[in-house]
Amino acid sequence: MIIKAVLFDLGETLLHYGKVNVSSLIQQAAQLTYRFLQECNSLQEKTQNFRRYHRLTAFHVKWRYVCSHLSHREFNGLTLLQHILRKMKITLTSDQLQELAWLWYKPAADLATMESNLHRHLQNLRDMSLDLAIISNTFSPAAVIDRHLQQLDLLRFFPLRQYSSVTIFRKPDRRIFQDTLQKLKLRSDQAVMVGDRIREDIRGAQKLGIKAVLKHGINNQNKNVNNVPVIHSIAELPDLIQNWPT
């Protein structure tokens, strides 16, 4: 069967964040957002202590993160921010709220790198008449991830982006894959999933009959899956797909 679409994971597949110190990222994000709220004159007297603000936000983020993994349902970071702001009796405009959400993600965005010539490799796939899509487990709001992709000039390659913060379902839940295929109007055997996590990306796709490619990286060093091709760079993907057995 001819392959008509390539579905990409985001973190450690298209973008590389490396080994992340979550506590450090939360503290950096808290500092950025705290200063922003001060600039907006939104901090009340009782919430002007940074330590208290940091503890409150860190608790809610970590608690929701744990709950999402236990329930296999994603939370939306924007909804969480709105909840925290209500508890602090802070009101922001829609634009201010979006900027606050971006500042929460910015420390992670600053870590992200891409492999060299990624744009050229993605264009090669597009030139093969392949649809490209992203399926990502993330609690970051869609507008935030899209803003980052736009800054990196990657957004134009991916008309369809499926974020678990929007779909609620997290990989390997078959529903996030099914929804992607429905939007692309394709059967499962017409798509290939490329990702670095064996359970979420590889097994999740295979359960639905989607072909899979494992991208080696920090999350799966020296690991392989039977009958699943392995790549170390997106540069290898066009030739692999072009020569995929029919």
pLDDT tens sequence across 199-237: 999 999 999 999 999 999 888 887 889 999 999 999 999
> Do you find a cis peptide bond into 245, omega within 30 degrees of 0?
no
In this structure, the answer to whether residues 55 and 175 fall within a common structural domain is no
63's CB contacts (< 8 A; 6+ apart) are none
In this structure, the answer to whether residues 28 and 127 fall within a common structural domain is no
Q: Residue 157 is part of a domain; what is its CATH number?
A: 3.40.50.1000
Q: What is the pLDDT of residues 62-88, one digit of tens each?
A: 999 999 988 889 999 999 999 999 988
CA distances in angstroms from 72 to 16, 35, 165, 173, listed in the order given = 24, 33, 12, 8
Which pLDDT does position 187 carry in this prediction? Answer: 97
Look at the block and give the residue holding tokens 């579905």. 7
In this structure, the answer to whether residues 61 and 156 fall within a common structural domain is no
In this structure, the answer to whether residues 150 and 223 fall within a common structural domain is yes
In this structure, the answer to whether residues 176 and 194 fall within a common structural domain is yes
Spatial distance between the Cα atoms of 192 and 202, rounded to a whole number of angstroms: 10
Reported pTM:
0.94
In this structure, the answer to whether residues 180 and 232 fall within a common structural domain is yes
In this structure, the answer to whether residues 26 and 91 fall within a common structural domain is yes
Q: Is the pLDDT of residue 45 over 60?
A: no
- The answer to whether 193 touches 213, Cβ cutoff 8 Å, is yes
User: Domain range for residue 73?
Assistant: 22-111
Indicate the helix (H) or strand (E) that contains 108: helix 94-111
Where does a domain end: 78, 111, 144? 111
Number of domains, the chain: 2
Where does a domain end: 69, 95, 111? 111
- How confident is the prediction for the chain on average, in pLDDT? 93
Where does a domain end: 111, 130, 165? 111
